[in-house]
Amino acid sequence: MYEYVFFDEGIRDHFTGDLKLRGVEHQLLDEDGLLIGVSEDISDEDSDAIDDLYDRLLQQNGELMEQGEDALELNVAGVQIQLADGSPCTIRLDTELVSRLMSVISMEELRDLCQTISEGVELRDNSPLCHILD
């Protein structure tokens, strides 16, 4: 399941409205309804369109946050990964770093990168990088 986090209900509603129009299965994953889960069983076309929409909405969300008087206190970012024992874990990230990263990679790629790093930390493979893995 792909996960998309929002910090504004209006922007989240815009996102879920687009998902409904596309007929894409989704669900609320938290009590606040700001974390949306989207089925991975979607076409590449829908996946690309959803990622593009999410990127645009993140930009819009950032602009809204910058306009508010508590902008710095509200400006947070994170990626949810799965630990080796199967439990979920949210990694908090620097918002400026995430903003720069989002200009060149998708949220899915960032999540995959964080997942790979966490697996490397948990499994502690200290073999040389040139070592061929089976």
Q: Can you tell me the mean pLDDT for 35-54?
A: 89
| 107-127 pLDDT tens trace | 788 889 999 999 988 888 777
* pLDDT for 8 beyond 50: yes
Highest mean pLDDT among 19-28, 29-38, 73-82: 19-28
Q: Can you tell me the mean pLDDT for 126-132?
A: 75
Angle at the Cα of 48 (from 45 to 52), degrees rounded to 5? 140
* pLDDT for 82 beyond 50: yes
Q: Can you tell me the mean pLDDT for 49-71?
A: 73
Output the pLDDT for position 133.
64
Q: Can you tell me the mean pLDDT for 78-90?
A: 85
Q: What is the DSSP string of 42-67?
A: S-HHHHHHHHHHHHHHHHHHHHHHHH
Highest mean pLDDT among 6-15, 56-65, 109-118: 109-118
Cα torsion angle, 11, 105, 92, 81, sign:
positive
Which amino acid is it at 56? R
Residues in the chain: 134
Distances 75 to 32, 61, 63, 94, 102 between C-alpha atoms, Å = 17, 10, 11, 9, 15
Contact, 35 vs 29, CB < 8 A? yes
Distances 16 to 45, 74, 106, 108 between C-alpha atoms, Å = 17, 22, 19, 18
List the one residue out of 111, 11, 108, 105 whose CA is nearest residue 58.
11
Neighbours of 20 (CB within 10 A): 11
* pLDDT for 20 beyond 50: yes
